[in-house]
Chain A
Amino acid sequence: MYLLIFALKRLAAAIVVLFAVSVLTFLIFFAIPNGNPALRLAGRTATPADIHNVEVAYGFNKPIYVQYVRTMKQIFTGQIQSYTQHLSVFSQIKRGLPATLSVAIGAAIVWMLIGIALGVIGALRAGKATDVAVSTVSFLGISSPSFVVGFILLDLFVYKTHIFPQVGYVPITKDPVSWFTHMILPWFSMAFLYIGIYAQVLRSSVLDAMTTDAVRTARAKGLSPTKVMIKHVLRVSLIPIVSLWGLDFAGALAGTTLVIEVVFNLQGVGQYAYQAIGALDVPPILVITILGAFFVVLMNAIVDILYAVLDPRIRAGKG
């Protein structure tokens, strides 16, 4: 019962968010100068009469809300096509999705693992040189934009030393090893920022947890330091990290991948969006934005459920 109400509330919120996002995205293209899609649809050599014909054919001369409803109808029936290439937006997205998911999921795993490792090391060595080194790396990561990191890594490991292959995406189904070697640099470029954040967040929450009464009890029970650390410190201090991870993953998938895909020419959904933005091609941008927003809302709900699973104190099912 509780879960049902929770799910319904979430669904309602999701619908509101998605509606708002779609309206805003749609309106932006009417607000920017030279945003008229008929200009691009009619082609480079079009006469004003051609442009007018296109406007009439596509309904661009109708009021905005009519256009909005029409576009949304096309989206929800899956019919929508891009203005520039006249290709189905959904099939284009489907084509780019493996690359995008490869980058985002891989990077999320990399930053989670390395962030946790560095955070724990920093906490265990608090105040010592190792801790200072971890903090330095963390703040370097936090203050480096991912495209800068990407270009530096490209320059060092691809152009200068040839340690890693040329940019581009190799499907995992075709050649898993090649897929992996092509993915390492994008993963680290994307993960560096989050590694810094996670290491610092975990370091401080581990330090807090280590001084709690519960951890003193665990030590007084005769548990080994490793067991105390894993079962009684990390198990508690990872709870906020896990929820942060869910949200950051959604944000990264819906945002940062765009930059990384462009830098490493991965031909994913992000790069598709990037090209569409350059061409002021509304349909792909609209669809990708809505999908991104939907994913963020979905991850939010998952994080909330996960939170309740991980922390019995906020499980409300009782009584």
Chain B
Amino acid sequence: MTGVEQMVSFSSSEELLRVEHLKVDFRTEGGVVHAVDDVSYSLRRGEVLAVVGESGSGKSVSAMTLMGLTRARNADISGTATLSDGTELIAASERQLRRIRGRRISMIFQDPMSALTPVYRVGDQIAEQIRTHERVSRSAAHDRAVELLRRVGIPKPADRARAYPHEFSGGMRQRVMIAMALSCSPEILIADEPTTALDVTIQAQILNEIEELRIETGVGVMLITHDLGVVAEVADRVVVMYAGRVVEQADLRELFKDPMHPYTWGLLGSIPRIDRDRPHRLPTIAGSPPSLLDPPKGCHFITRCPHRMPRCTNEPDLVATSGVPSHLDRCVLTLEQKRDLRIVDGAIGLPAELPALPTNEESA
């Protein structure tokens, strides 16, 4: 018995992880990069929490920080990240973290082609993780590795365990990664863009795999992605990040039906829709994300927001504005304004034209 197959027998609202006021700064030659700026969220047992954002929004950095993988001499990390038993990850010693990595929190990465060490058989790489955390014999660990490969849908697992990473396709390699991540029955699985490097049909298979594992094992999944299509398929709750900050956070349905933050509107508006006439240009969000070396004062989305106004140069709080307590956003528009402004050509989106940037004189 691998322990992977135990059934869910707990209240679904049990918190596995609570991240509070996480800040990650990197000191570089060009100045301080504010990669993660006061981010808070929580992950519950058996749920898929999607963390959505563009490259550089801090979504990967915040996840890697939980694992202690961003610790470096030039990194300043503050805040707390607490596991269900009270273990705090940010202040934990490297030794404590090693007991947690791979055992209580596992991670799978974007590019399965390069995520495994090329010179070892995949079965050995899985067994290595098991034997790092549990006192089991070499052959017992190997048998478990084979069982895990079978579990994630790899045909002829006993043979394939003896194969090298380059002998697998991308999708199969990602399955190997998932098998490895699950080898010690972790409470939390962090999946950093797990399907981005894969073909669309393979993407769906991998997402199904994660979905099934979640149901069977009750593992809490933190799914980092930029793909709202993926989010719509598997997420229970969504955290939208922009330039190091959380700008909106809600249950999946709430976020898609009643999005409160202009950046979220832009994301939703840029999904191509087959049920409408094709626009002569695909909608995009004008401009590019701000430099994290020198983020704008106030709302970080101010440089690209068509609905910006002088008040936006004061930093808005992350608060519940839609009336649903679990639905938070970081925008100063009123609820009526939001519900009115977000409709562009009959659907949620952002207008293309950008008003002049409010200056300090105006806001004063």
B311 at interface by CB-CB < 8 Å? no
Q: Would A311 and B119 be within 8 Å (CB), given that A213-B109, A222-B100, A222-B102 are in contact?
A: yes
Q: Once the chains are docked, how many angstroms separate the CA of A233 from the CA of B120?
A: 12
Instruction: Assess the A221–B180 pair: CB atoms within 8 A.
Output: yes
Q: In the complex, which residues of chain B have a beta carbon less than 8 angstroms from the beta carbon of A224?
A: 98
B21 at interface by CB-CB < 8 Å? no
Interface extent on B, as a size class? 20 to 34
Q: In the complex, which residues of chain A have a beta carbon less than 8 angstroms from the beta carbon of B114?
A: 212-214
B150 at interface by CB-CB < 8 Å? no
Instruction: Assess the B164–A312 pair: CB atoms within 8 A.
Output: yes
Q: Would A223 and B132 be within 8 Å (CB), given that A212-B114, A213-B109 are in contact?
A: yes
Instruction: Assess the B116–A221 pair: CB atoms within 8 A.
Output: no
B308 at interface by CB-CB < 8 Å? no
Instruction: Assess the A222–B99 pair: CB atoms within 8 A.
Output: yes
**Contact residues, A215-233 vs B (CB, 8 A):** 215-224, 227, 231-232
Q: Which residue of B lies closest to A239 (CB)?
A: B119
Q: Would A217 and B132 be within 8 Å (CB), given that A222-B103, A312-B164, A313-B166 are in contact?
A: no
Interface string of A2-37 (1 = CB under 8 A from B): 000000000000000000000000000000000000
**Contact residues, A280-319 vs B (CB, 8 A):** 310-313, 318
Instruction: Assess the A220–B119 pair: CB atoms within 8 A.
Output: no
A-B contact count (CB 8 A): 72
B272 at interface by CB-CB < 8 Å? no
Q: Once the chains are docked, how many angstroms separate the CA of A236 from the CA of B125?
A: 14
Q: Once the chains are docked, how many angstroms separate the CA of A313 from the CA of B167?
A: 9
Out of B100, B109, B120, B180, which one reaches A216, CB within 8 Å? Answer: B109
Q: Once the chains are docked, how many angstroms separate the CA of A218 from the CA of B69?
A: 11
A235 at interface by CB-CB < 8 Å? yes
Q: In the complex, which residues of chain B have a beta carbon less than 8 angstroms from the beta carbon of A310?
A: 119
Q: Once the chains are docked, how many angstroms separate the CA of A214 from the CA of B115?
A: 4
Q: Once the chains are docked, how many angstroms separate the CA of A239 from the CA of B119?
A: 10
Instruction: Assess the A217–B69 pair: CB atoms within 8 A.
Output: no
B188 → chain A closest CB, angstroms: 12
B107 at interface by CB-CB < 8 Å? yes
Instruction: Assess the B132–A214 pair: CB atoms within 8 A.
Output: no
Out of A215, A217, A223, A236, which one reaches B119, CB within 8 Å? Answer: A236
A22 → chain B closest CB, angstroms: 40
Q: In the complex, which residues of chain A have a beta carbon less than 8 angstroms from the beta carbon of B164?
A: 312-313
Instruction: Assess the B166–A312 pair: CB atoms within 8 A.
Output: yes
Q: Once the chains are docked, how many angstroms separate the CA of A231 from the CA of B128?
A: 10
Q: In the complex, which residues of chain A have a beta carbon less than 8 angstroms from the beta carbon of B107?
A: 217, 220
Q: Once the chains are docked, how many angstroms separate the CA of A148 from the CA of B102?
A: 53
**Contact residues, B99-140 vs A (CB, 8 A):** 99-103, 106-107, 109, 111, 114-120, 128-129, 132-133
Instruction: Assess the A312–B119 pair: CB atoms within 8 A.
Output: yes
Q: In the complex, which residues of chain A have a beta carbon less than 8 angstroms from the beta carbon of B167?
A: 318
Instruction: Assess the B119–A221 pair: CB atoms within 8 A.
Output: no
Instruction: Assess the B102–A221 pair: CB atoms within 8 A.
Output: yes
Instruction: Assess the A222–B117 pair: CB atoms within 8 A.
Output: no
Q: Once the chains are docked, how many angstroms separate the CA of A224 from the CA of B128?
A: 12
A66 → chain B closest CB, angstroms: 54
Q: In the complex, which residues of chain A have a beta carbon less than 8 angstroms from the beta carbon of B43?
A: none
Instruction: Assess the B111–A235 pair: CB atoms within 8 A.
Output: no
Q: Would A222 and B118 be within 8 Å (CB), given that A213-B111, A312-B164, A312-B166 are in contact?
A: no
Instruction: Assess the A217–B109 pair: CB atoms within 8 A.
Output: yes
Instruction: Assess the B166–A222 pair: CB atoms within 8 A.
Output: no
Interface string of B153-171 (1 = CB under 8 A from A): 0000000000010110000
B39 at interface by CB-CB < 8 Å? no
A and B contact pairs by CB, cutoff 8 A, 14 listed:
A213-B115, A216-B115, A217-B107, A217-B109, A218-B117, A219-B69, A220-B67, A220-B101, A220-B107, A221-B102, A222-B132, A224-B98, A231-B117, A231-B120
